[in-house]
Amino acid sequence: MAAGKSKPIDTQLLSRLLDEHGRALTLFARQYCDSPEDVVQYAFLKLVRSRQGHGNMVPWLYRVARNRAISIARSSTRRQRRELRVARREQPWFEPDYAEELDARAAADALKALPEPQREIIIAHIWGGLTFEQIGQVVGCSSSTAHRHYNEGLSSLRERLRSPCTEHTTTEN
Amino acid sequence: MHGTHDDGELKGLERSLAGLRPAPAGIDRDELMFKAGQAAATGRAGLAPNAAVLAVLVAAFAGAGTTWLARPAAPERIVQVTVEKPVLRVVELSPMMPAGERPERSVARADYLELRDRVLAEGMDALPPLGPAGGAAPGGTLDDLWRDFGIPPRHSAGKAWAPSTGRSAQS
């Protein structure tokens, strides 16, 4: 994980953070709002404005992105939320044909169908690389609660991915 | 056993999910770097006006404090006031002056006022020495006192005036 220690933010560090965590951060923000790129850019710029590196920069970026995305989603109107649901279906969450074992579209649909606490913890742990303690700091719960949500979410995903046709139809509706 | 099987399945699912790669971020790197530079410059420039305002305030307070401490003390003024002594008017009294023509201030009162002023100015030493009788009025008989009050001396017995204490009245 990049930048574990506190260090000043320079161009190289920012570029490295963007390379290593830009995709996962965008995926994490995409589950809340329809403008995840703006959210991630906001988080990086806030890190630069703070003018010094945080001890745990990556969890800090996730927390800032989560708060920003939820704030944007709450401020949007009902019509915008409906458009967001449509946009979520259209925007791919994962690169197609990258994994051999799982269908990217089916996995994304199964993820979208999960309750938010389970979904955000699974994304933060699997693709963000955060520990359950760091996830607890990001979402505001204990590490044991985060771990429990994670296991419940994985179990639900397993069930949904066993019957992809039924689940796909349910998600589309 | 069932739990272990479940755990194994979940681990396999976890690995499969980790094999998925999130879609590209879609963030314009050049734009982000440009805005990051702007943000960093704004942060540094934001400090400069604050420092300038702080310096001006410190200078203003220092100047005000110096002016306050270095201000001249109020000059001490000595005012001399001349008080005129009251002019004493001595009026000669005739023995039988009618009541309407009597002056309000008699000679005895004028003497008293003059004596009082002298005592106030010079202290107790200004008092005249007492007469040989110890309790007698200075310099006069009872007839003189009667005359001072415009009463003819025929009413008195010509004795020296003495304060009317109970003992002297009996004697």
Report the distance separating Cα A154 and Cα B19, nearest Å.
15
What tokens were used for A158?
């397993």
End-to-end CA separation in angstroms for chain A: 39
Cα atoms in the 13 Å half-sphere on the side-chain side of A149: 24
Residue carrying the six token digits 């805005």? B35
- DSSP E strands: which ranges in chain A? none
Asked if the model's pLDDT at residue B90 lies above 70, the reply is no
The alpha carbon of B76 is separated from its chain's Cα centroid by a whole number of angstroms, namely 17
What tokens were used for A10?
């320079």
> In this complex, which of A22, A100, A107 lies closest to B27 when CB atoms are compared?
A22
List, for residues A51-73, the tens digit of each pLDDT value.
Answer: 666 668 899 999 999 999 999 88
List, for residues A124-151, the tens digit of each pLDDT value.
Answer: 999 999 999 999 999 999 999 999 999 9
Q: Rounded to 10 degrees, what is the CA torsion of A38, A76, A123, A132?
A: 100
Residue B39 near residue A9 (C-beta atoms within 8 A) = no
Which of A72, A65, A66 lies closest to A18, judged by CA?
A: A65
ipTM of the complex: 0.80
List, for residues A87-101, the tens digit of each pLDDT value.
Answer: 666 778 888 866 667
Q: Higher-confidence residue: B37 or A3?
A: B37
Residue B90 near residue B107 (C-beta atoms within 8 A) = yes
Report the distance separating Cα A116 and Cα A39, nearest Å.
18
Q: pLDDT tier at A121 (50, 70, 90 boundaries)?
A: very high
List, for residues B22-39, the tens digit of each pLDDT value.
Answer: 988 788 888 888 888 888
pLDDT of residue A168: 45
Q: Rounded to 10 degrees, what is the CA torsion of B57, B63, B65, B67?
A: -150
Q: Which residues contact A142 (CB under 8 A, 6 or more apart)?
A: A136
Which chain A positions have a beta carbon within 8 Å of B9's beta carbon? 158
Q: Higher-confidence residue: A35 or A125?
A: A125
CA angle, B127 as apex, B126 and B129 as ends, to 5°? 125
Asked if the model's pLDDT at residue B104 lies above 90, the reply is no
Which of A6, A25, A18 lies closest to B33, judged by CA?
A: A18
Mean pLDDT of chain B: 72
Which chain A positions have a beta carbon within 8 Å of B16's beta carbon? 99, 101-102
Domains defined along chain A, listed by start: 10-91 (1.10.1740), 96-173 (1.10.10.10)
Mutation site for A-interface testing, chosen from B4, B6, B10, B21 by largest number of A Cβ within 10 Å: B21
pLDDT of residue B125: 82
pTM value surpassing 0.90: no
> In this complex, which of B21, B25, B37 lies closest to A94 when CB atoms are compared?
B21
